[in-house]
Amino acid sequence: MSVKIGNIDLGGFPLLLAPMEDVSDPPFRALCKKNGADVMFTEFISSEGLIRDATKSVQKLDIFEYERPIAIQIFGHDIESMKESTRICEKANPDFIDINYGCPVKKVTCKGAGSGILKDIPKMVSMTREIVKSTKLPVTVKTRLGWDDESKHIVDVAERLQDVGIQAISIHGRTRKQMYKGEADWSLIADVKNNQRMNIPVFGNGDVDSPEMAKHKRDTYGIDGIMIGRAAIGYPWIFNEIKHYLKTNELLAKPSMSQRIALCREHLEFSLRWKGPILGVVETRRHYTNYFKHIPDFKEYRMRLVTATQVEDLFQILDEVEQIFGDYQFQ
């Protein structure tokens, strides 16, 4: 049976690319889409930044036809600003709007945005209601189990958000207080899914870093799909690997060194086209470590990749890497 957000058909068990600040930009999303991600989200965008027409916020509205279905994700603490930014997002023509009620970073939560709103559930419900009313697009939510261990009210919260009109919910299996520490608890995500009053898709998020883990989460917790974040950084192949394993119970071979270098080049080329020669170089640096993990004697090349400032130098280093490490076998 197909999973749907509004009228958007996502297929049988969709894999969603999590919105990640300074990671989920168009170059990274393109690679994940090419390698099997079913649903895209932009980086989270500040509602205040959009209203002020801040360059960084507006640039995050860039979406491309091949990315669909894609959501623009917004965050903020002021209901009127969130409504206004929703209307701005609508003009960029995404498939749906996603509200970030999950970001645990202090500079966001201290203002009552992101997971900070988990301290004020009535405001969370009111804000969601107003955003739903302000757009014709489907509205979804990404959130956490609660603020801390004493406030894991996600089963009730999800129901209340459904009642004011959201059309899907993605839940990270940790509290805000946990940040990214400890293990994600998917049992409460399953409780949301198994609540007989819930009729919208429930997506699980947290600690899925292999095809085997994805199958375990699907089979154990019965969720409608999985959202993958950190495990895709430097390894977008994870989406197709999971799909293949869910279908056949067999693991695909790991990508070769040549495939990794080719994807790395593609990532850099897209970044240069999108951001230009300076930002394009700088913003790709955070990905090199992940593309070339666990390779013996690679430190010198990693350092050169993250310190090079000229485009031609980067491509030359990648050529060297292919010559020297091209035969390396990943386990």
pLDDT of residue 56: 74
Question: What average pLDDT score do residues 309-331 get?
Answer: 91
- Identify whether residues 222 and 279 lie together within a single domain: no
Question: Considering 248, 270, 303, which residue would you say is the last residue of a domain?
Answer: 248
Flag whether 330 is in a domain.
no
* Predicted confidence band of residue 314 (pLDDT cuts 50, 70, 90): very high
Q: Kindly state whether residue 331 falls inside one of the protein's structural domains.
A: no
Is the sign of the CA dihedral 276, 278, 282, 284 positive or negative? Answer: positive
pLDDT digits (tens, 9 = 90+) for 207-251: 999 999 999 999 999 999 999 999 999 999 999 999 999 999 999
pLDDT of residue 245: 98
Q: State the pLDDT at residue 177.
A: 84
Q: Helix 238-248 and helix 211-221: axis angle, to 10°?
A: 60
Query: Is residue 84 classed exposed, middle or buried when 0-12, 13-18 and 19+ CB atoms within 10 A define those classes?
Result: middle
Round the average pLDDT of the chain to a whole number and report it.
92
Tell me if the bond preceding 69 is cis, omega within 30° of 0. Answer: yes
Return d(Cα 217, Cα 205) in angstroms, integer: 10
In the prediction, which pLDDT does 121 show? 95
**One domain for residues 279 and 149:** no
Regarding whether 48 and 196 lie in a shared domain, the answer is yes
Residue 149 and residue 234 in one domain: yes
Q: Binning pLDDT at 50, 70 and 90, where does residue 12 land?
A: very high
pLDDT at residue number 181 = 87
Look up the CATH number of the domain holding residue 214. Answer: 3.20.20.70
Q: Which amino acid is at 38?
A: D
For the chain, the domain total comes to 2
Looking at the structure, tell me whether residues 182 and 214 fall in a common domain.
yes
Which residues have a catalytic role annotated?
103
Ramachandran bin of 37, using left for φ above 0, alpha for ψ from -120 to 50, beta for the remaining angles:
beta
| Per-residue pLDDT tens over the stretch 107-125 | 888 787 888 888 899 999 9
* Whether residue 147 is found in the same domain as residue 54: yes
For the chain, give the percent of residues with pLDDT over 90.
75
Does some domain include residue 84?
A: yes
Is 301 within the bounds of a domain? yes
> Quick check: 176 pLDDT over 80?
yes
pLDDT tens figures, 272-307: 999 899 999 998 988 988 898 889 999 999 999 999
* 103, pLDDT greater than 90: no
Residue 316 has pLDDT above 80, yes or no: yes
Last residue of a domain, one of 218, 248, 278: 248
**DSSP-assigned states of every residue in 228-272:** E-GGGTT-TTHHHHHHHHHHHS-PPPPPPHHHHHHHHHHHHHHHH
Q: Are 185 and 262 found together in one domain?
A: no
Domain stop point among 222, 248, 274: 248
CA atoms lying within 13 Å on the CB side of residue 82: 27
> Residue 41 pLDDT more than 90?
yes
How many Å apart are CA 280 and CA 25, to the nearest integer?
Answer: 11
Instruction: Residue 286: give the domain boundaries.
Output: 257-325
Question: Same domain, yes or no, for 95 and 241?
Answer: yes
Angle of CA points 107, 109, 111, to nearest 5°:
80
Report if residue 75 sits inside a domain: yes
Cα Rg for the chain, rounded, in angstroms?
20
Q: Would you say residue 130 lies in a domain?
A: yes
Q: What pLDDT score was predicted for residue 73? A: 95
CA distance 153 to 121: 9
pLDDT of residue 1: 77
The CATH number of residue 296's host domain is 1.10.1200
pLDDT in tens, 52-77: 887 778 888 889 999 999 999 999 99
One domain, residues 115 and 169: yes
pLDDT for the residue numbered 39: 97
Q: Are residues 234 and 286 in the same domain?
A: no
